Amino acid sequence: MLRSKPLCAEVPSQRSGAIRRALTLSSGWTMTTRSQSPRRRTPEPARTVTQNLISQRRPSAEPRTMPRVNSTAPPVKILNTVPQRPSAHLTLRDSSPPGSFPPPDDLHQSCRHPVRTWGNGSFGAHLRNMTLASGRLRVPQDGRYYLYAQVYFRYPSPSSESDQSGASHQLVQCIYKKTSYRRPIPLLKGVGTKCWAPDAEYALHSVYQGGLFELRAGDEVFVAVSSPTMVHAEESASYFGAFRLDV
């Protein structure tokens, strides 16, 4: 009969195996079989949080280049898209020949001769966002406009005492507004009266006027005088203008 091994003989072998495993875990040594020599297990390198942060903060190998600025390039021009305000400054080119333009019937008797020879070709004169036709300025936009005008009158030298006694020294200048109504509306009126001695020398006399008015798009403004033959055509002396104010 075959005898089974006693249970007490297996206890030392089981106990030695548990001791071997405990030594392996605590010391890091790997116990192999008798034919192999014991060796130490190399631990794998572990990346800590600090090493990860340091690696992220390292600069890249490529050097950073600053953008080049071309100093010779012309400056960028900013276009002004704001439209210019309507304005005009006109000067008198020449006086109208007598009888070339018959006076209209819808103007006042003392100021019934329109001045038609305004122009913007002289130094300082201009015409922006407004139109000029037959001496009349046309308003393009609704708003408040400042109107002004000055006319120089030259007294003619009398050829005889009768001409001197009968000469009229009343000088009248008016600014009218033409709308859809039949008759023009007088806006401004300036009067200059001179009493001259019999031996006085006749010279120049100016009449200036200006004012702020509410105008509508399509209105026309013009200047009229009492005596067109006495108007002195000089660019710096006789002028007419208008400009819109944002008030």
Spatial neighbors of 167 by CB under 8 A, at least 6 apart, are 155, 156, 158
What pLDDT score was predicted for residue 97? Answer: 53
- The parent domain of residue 205 ranges over 87-245
- Per-residue pLDDT at 121: 86
pLDDT given for residue 201 in this prediction: 65
Q: What is the CATH number of the domain that holds 95?
A: 2.60.120.40
d(CA 88, CA 147): 10
Residue with tokens 């030298």: 157
**217, part of any domain:** yes
Domain contains 74: no
With a cut of 50, which residues of the chain have pLDDT below it?
Answer: 7-11, 29-35, 98-99, 162, 165-166
Question: Is 126 among the domain residues?
Answer: yes
Q: Is residue 118 part of a domain?
A: yes
Residues with Cβ within 8 Å of 234's Cβ and at least 6 positions away in sequence, in order, are 92, 152
Cα-Cα-Cα-Cα torsion 10, 12, 13, 15, nearest 10 degrees, comes to 120
For residue 111, being part of any structural domain is answered with yes
Q: Examine residue 44 and state whether it is found in any structural domain, yes or no.
A: no
What percent of the chain shows pLDDT beyond 70?
53
**Which tens digits make up the pLDDT trace of 99-117?**
456 677 778 878 889 999 9
Name the 3-class secondary structure at 13.
helix
3-state secondary structure of 101: coil
Confidence at residue 198, expressed as pLDDT on a 0 to 100 scale: 65
Residue 185, CA distances (Å) to 34, 149, 201, 206, 222 in order:
131, 16, 37, 23, 11
> Is 103 within the bounds of a domain?
yes
Rg of the Cα trace of the chain? 53
Report pLDDT for 234: 84
Q: What is the pLDDT of residues 38-47, one digit of tens each?
A: 555 555 555 5
Task: Output the CA torsion sign for 147, 119, 217, 175.
Answer: positive
Q: Please answer whether residues 125 and 89 qualify as being in contact, where contact means their C-beta atoms are separated by less than 8 angstroms.
A: yes
**Within-domain flag for 195:** yes
Number of domains in the chain: 1
